[in-house]
Amino acid sequence: MVSARVIRNLKTEFRNSALAKIGLVLVVGILVTAAFAPFIAPHDPTEQQLDQSELPPLGFSETTERTTSQMVDGEIQTVTETVEVTPDAAHPLGTDSLGRDMLSRIVYGARTSLVVGVLGTLLAGLVGVPVGLFAGYHRGNVDDVLMRIADVSLAFPSLVLAVALIGLWGRAAVNVPDPFVVAGLAPGMPESFVLPITVVLVVGLVNWVWFARVARGEALSLRGQEYVKASRALGADDTAIIWNHVLPNAITPIIVLGTVQVAAIILLESSLSFLGFSGTTLSWGFDIAQGRDYISSGQWWIASLPGLAIMFSVIGINLLGDWLRDSLDPGIEGEGGAA
Amino acid sequence: MSFGRFVLKRSLQGLGVVWGVVTVVFALRFVTPGSAINAVAPLDADQETRQAIAAELGLDQPLYVQYGQYVSDLLRGDMGFSYIRGQEVAGLVFARLPATVELALAASVVAIVLSIPLGVLSATRRNEPVDYGATLLSLGGISTPNFWLGIMLILVFAVEFDVFNTSGRGVDVGDVALSLIGAEPFVGTLLAWLAYITLPAIALGTYFMALITRLTRSGMLDELSKGYVQAAQAKGLPQTLVRYKHALRNTLIPVITVLGLQLGTLIGGAVITEAVFSWPGLGTLVIESINTRDWPVLQGSLIVIGTSFVFVNVLVDAVYAYLDPQVVND
């Protein structure tokens, strides 16, 4: 549990590790970006300005070929001319093929990634941890059945299982009103956030097994402890023992796994939206898929920038995970599910 | 327990998991919205065709009869028929499998060849620049989405420099092997193969390169601090012998297990890498079959993917037991 010793370890490790500091800065940055997206984004991320399309980021200019129809000597002719496209300070990271502001899309994409990452991890933990603790504590048939289910579940790669389930279930999404916009604090921004609910369910369901495995392992080693035996002798029922004694002592590796899982689920979500299996179009993976068609014609930024956003988010979370692991329990190995 | 009995026991457990995989995949046809027939018949099939297909598949039979039929068909290598493609599923899936295996193996080679020396170097020169470099590289590697890395590789090496091909699979690795015995000019065939496989293999292999570097580094640090290493050093054994024969060997044993477990990630990564590079493997088949709602092909692909995972893991456990005989007695 969170004791004074744990907090002291966290502080010491944090002071000594430059990587932990970088991780914290990155994660806080993404949290703030996601939470206050309507104030940070300069434009509505879904607003299309076709006359402003394919503008490069500040500092870069791009020559491109434009084909237009013109009247030449009384005839309509198509004229291809090479034009220089210069950046516009109103769009610091440029615009995509439909003239949507890249910076605003990246800022809003942080919401999708984080919400899916955190909700998916919570769901996976809420399913996996109780099942794992119960199986590890009781052993016997329950445990055997659980481990076989886990084996079967692991035989399907997360991504493959996720695309299969979304393919079967469809891509449902719900609109969650944005409190800042509803309150009139951020005029001109989208009024609601599109939560891809099927994606959350699916990423939770394909990753619960990692939590079950870790929780089971902890419960197996804790069930023989003196204090657990003592409670049992005093007549405490199993649920109470698992809740009061096993869970608090198993929580450290579960928290460390949870951090790694948020990163893994963010990667998984971006893969799903890249492949078109998402319920929202405001996602880093979706933008990379859009930008992919433009890399051979010179608009490199549309696909590149959202990928950098994914990379830095996941690096931040992984660094935070390393910090937690190193300070909470030096004995835990860094292994766990990935996309 | 003898080594043979251990392998037999793991193989039987593996068969149990394969049975579970088959059962889950069988159940998938009932998860589809609507009746099971929607999962098999083409969307535009009329009522009469639907009934004919349903009767042929035994969908009017009790569930346990359908299940028995499904399993016995599979045992005979019959994975059903894709009415959308008008082809046998088994033929389709096994035609695509070699390309995926080739890509996965090439990615593993990229990963292993780079990661183990890097991990060892990082551990033996702890807190030196090479260690920081390797740590940053592996941190970036486990945090980069492989599809994006693939697109960036295309951007640099195909669009800017035009060195590699970015779409499809040129010659397969079998052609390269044949050219060794003089069927085709060897160098030309090898280059033609490399032109297509290099970028996808790097895109897919980078995550594993990073992961193995991290595992090798932490494993080596752990081993190097152990008593037997210090004893060997005190005895005056050469540093390289102690490091590479003793410590590295013990480091690699757990690395192999993690790799077995991560095989799912490798196959999942292959699915998306294939999508980026239009690689004609199982991954593109899975995506195509979902987009066209071709469930029999999806089911067949899932069975092959799940079974390969189990097969490789049994193999990994056997190698593990061979390298570390203590495992057999646990």
Q: pTM of the entire structure? A: 0.88
User: What pLDDT shows up at residue B84?
Assistant: 80
User: What pLDDT shows up at residue A334?
Assistant: 41
User: What pLDDT shows up at residue A339?
Assistant: 35
CB interface of B with A, residues 182-221, below 8 Å: 207, 211, 214-215, 218
User: What pLDDT shows up at residue B60?
Assistant: 72
Around Cβ B156, how many Cβ atoms within 10 Å? Answer: 15
Where residue A94 falls (left for φ over 0; alpha for ψ -120 to 50; beta otherwise) is left
Could you tell me if B127 lies within 8 Å of chain A, comparing CB atoms?
Answer: no
Could you tell me if A263 lies within 8 Å of chain B, comparing CB atoms?
Answer: yes
User: What pLDDT shows up at residue A98?
Assistant: 85
Rounded mean pLDDT, A7-17: 84
Could you tell me if A22 lies within 8 Å of chain B, comparing CB atoms?
Answer: no
User: What pLDDT shows up at residue B21?
Assistant: 92
Burial of B258 (0-12, 13-18, 19+ CB in 10 A): middle
Q: What is the pLDDT of residues A117-153, one digit of tens each?
A: 999 999 999 999 999 999 999 888 888 888 888 889 8
CB interface of B with A, residues 81-120, below 8 Å: none
And the tokens for B116?
Answer: 């183990």
B144 contacts in A (CB within 8 Å)?
307, 310-311, 314
- Per cent of chain B over pLDDT 90 is 21
Rounded mean pLDDT, A58-80: 76
Q: What is the pLDDT of residues A77-122, one digit of tens each?
A: 777 777 777 778 788 888 888 888 999 999 999 999 999 999 999 9
Could you tell me if A151 lies within 8 Å of chain B, comparing CB atoms?
Answer: yes
User: What pLDDT shows up at residue A227?
Assistant: 85
Kindly tell me if the per-residue pLDDT of A2 is higher than 70.
no
- Inspect the interface and report whether the beta carbons of B151 and A158 lie closer than 8 Å: no
- Start-to-end Cα distance in chain A: 29
Complex ipTM more than 0.85, yes or no? yes
Identify from B11, B12, B137, B151 which residue to disrupt to test chain A contact, counting A C-beta atoms within 10 A and taking the largest count. Answer: B151
Kindly tell me if the per-residue pLDDT of A337 is higher than 50.
no
User: What pLDDT shows up at residue A335?
Assistant: 39
Domains of chain B: 97-329 (1.10.3720.10)
A164 contacts in B (CB within 8 Å)?
28, 286, 290, 298, 302
CB interface of A with B, residues 295-324, below 8 Å: 295-296, 300, 303-304, 306-307, 310-311, 314-315, 318-319
The DSSP result for B102-157, as a single string, is HHHHHHHHHHHHHHHHHHHHHHHTTTSHHHHHHHHHHHHHHHS-HHHHHHHHIIII
- The nearest alpha carbon in chain B to A153 belongs to B21
- Inspect the interface and report whether the beta carbons of A156 and B21 lie closer than 8 Å: yes
The DSSP result for A246-265, as a single string, is IHHHHHHHHHHHHHHHHHHH
Identify from A168, A257, A317 which residue to disrupt to test chain B contact, counting B C-beta atoms within 10 A and taking the largest count. Answer: A168
* CA distance readout (Å), A278 to A139, A181, A269: 39, 24, 8
B31 contacts in A (CB within 8 Å)?
165, 168-169
Which residues of chain B carry a pLDDT beneath 50? none
Could you tell me if B133 lies within 8 Å of chain A, comparing CB atoms?
Answer: no
User: What pLDDT shows up at residue A79?
Assistant: 75
Identify from A160, A286, A299, A318 which residue to disrupt to test chain B contact, counting B C-beta atoms within 10 A and taking the largest count. Answer: A160
Q: What is the pLDDT of residues A238-297, one digit of tens each?
A: 888 888 888 888 888 898 899 999 999 999 999 999 998 888 889 999 999 999 888 888
Q: What is the pLDDT of residues B4-38, one digit of tens each?
A: 888 898 899 899 999 999 998 888 777 665 555 66
Task: Report the alpha-carbon distance of residue B84 to residue B289 in Å, rounded.
Answer: 9
With b for 16 or more beta-carbon neighbours within 10 A and e for fewer, the B191-215 pattern comes to: ebbbbbbbbbbbbbbbbbbbbbbbb
Residue A312 is inside which H or E element, if any? helix A301-328
Facing A156 at nearest CB: one of B152, B272, B305: B305
Minimum distance, in Å, between the CA of residue B184 and any CA atom of chain A: 33
B152 contacts in A (CB within 8 Å)?
303-304, 307
Rounded mean pLDDT, A28-38: 93
User: What pLDDT shows up at residue B28?
Assistant: 79
Q: What is the pLDDT of residues A185-222, one digit of tens each?
A: 888 888 888 889 899 999 998 999 999 999 998 898 88
Rounded mean pLDDT, A166-171: 84
- Inspect the interface and report whether the beta carbons of A154 and B309 lie closer than 8 Å: yes
